[in-house]
Structure 1
Amino acid sequence: MLKRYFIIFTAFLGLSHYASAAASTTYSYTECEGSAMPYPVPDMALRAIPDSLTPVYVNHIGRHGARLLSSGDYTVSLLRYLHRADSLGTITPAGRRLMNLCHLVTERTDGRWGALDSLGMAEQRGIASRLYSLAPALFHNTDINAISSYVPRCIASMDEFTHQLSRLDNRIEITTASGRQNSPLLRPWTGDESYKSYIDSDKWHKVYSEYVDTTVPTNVAIKIMGAGYPFSKNEKKDIAMAVYKVVA
């Protein structure tokens, strides 16, 4: 009998967490990257299956792998602020370094915004390899069905994952599919009228704004723009959030 797998690749919406504006924290640099951190590689010893159990089925739901910055919006916005600070003569040395970073990001990413990168490809191959090593017998003569959304990085992630399985066992039969026909399962919020109505309302704005007001460290903006920069209302928070996105 053919064993059957169902593999799903999709992109999840998430809110990146900002470090507190406290004077000092015990968080490391990478811990502050939040959802932008690469997939962790688990300790396989902790994934051992007890001798009394036999795996019979796998249903894997995975996010896309590491990608390039999804769009140039934050980079362009940050550069606009930094160029103004430069023209006003308030920009700091840290601000100039950040300006160089923005130019580097634009140069390296232009035309490839949001694309799966080499790290993301390696992540997907690694996940597939670890799954295979956990129960290799489960993959022999296996029929795998994999689907993804229409998002290119999700399709590429599915391809890397399934290709790695085929490299490990060429007796695997793999069927893949991608596109908007999978949206009801992979992107359900796009067709949920109550959800869309909620997003279009102002019910969540108050909670979100209060969170931003108490969490986003506005001193970041002063550190790069300079104390003499004429900040307008909410500009410090907007700049700090743009810095977080680009640096992470």
Structure 2
Amino acid sequence: MTVAVTGASGQLGRLVVEALLKEGVTPVAVVRDPAKVADLAALGAEIRQAGYDDPAALDRAFEGVDRVLLVSGNEFGSRVAQHTNVLRAAERAGVELFAYTSIPNIDRNEMILAQEHRGTEAVLDEASVPVVRLRNDWYWENYLSGLAPAIESGVLYGAAGTGRVAGASRADYAEAAAKVLTTDGHGGQNYELGGEPLAYADLAQAISEASGKPVRYQDLPQADYAAALAQNGVPAQYAQVLADADAGIAQGILDIETGDLQRLLGRTPTPAVEVFRAALA
């Protein structure tokens, strides 16, 4: 069995390739710049060059491939077209499984971040090959950039109210993806993947436990939180996206308790406090 992972130089894709190697599979790491994954080549991965905008290169990358993981791209505004290119190349290659990293609760998720995932999933609905959707909740690593300010000020700011995030470590999601890619019975499945749901007050407590410093959660109105992020150097458009995501959390969009991630991993996902503690070590 030959498994290809796109976006393999990114944070998630790289971890999926490493997880596949641990499973005894020689993965095909599909990247725009092979120089960025020389370490993966040294570990035994096969490197093939292709970007999401290059159908001919994608065709070459998927030659002889049985299963593909499309790690969603990061070029906002272009992602549906790019993802469609990857799917069409996989269809032309006749793959037996096409996996896609999406976002939870796509049918009712109104986050800005969900829009292109929804568009991509609509394309996947018409795919001619078996598809599995890996709807990943937040990575606990999403909060690492805010650890130092929260510890220094003693306050974690947000606009999520009492809404909960069922996060897990990025490595957990990568391991789950590797399990899907190397085992059978996943075609047609929609996995809502998340760990233990935590409110932001719980995240503040986890930061306190990891750092040994008292941290509390301060909830702000969405507009005020976006303004505060912008005032602290976050680009204004991205600040709006982050505040909008918190508003979705407040509505329960990321409060996932399906147990799908636990079943795929065969264990409990990594707690937030462990991710924070490792980052602070």
Q: Could you tell me the TM-score, scaled by structure 2's length? A: 0.28
If asked which structure has higher relative contact order (CA below 8 Å, sep 6+), I would say 1
Structure number with higher helix proportion: 1
More strand by share: 2
Larger radius of gyration: 1
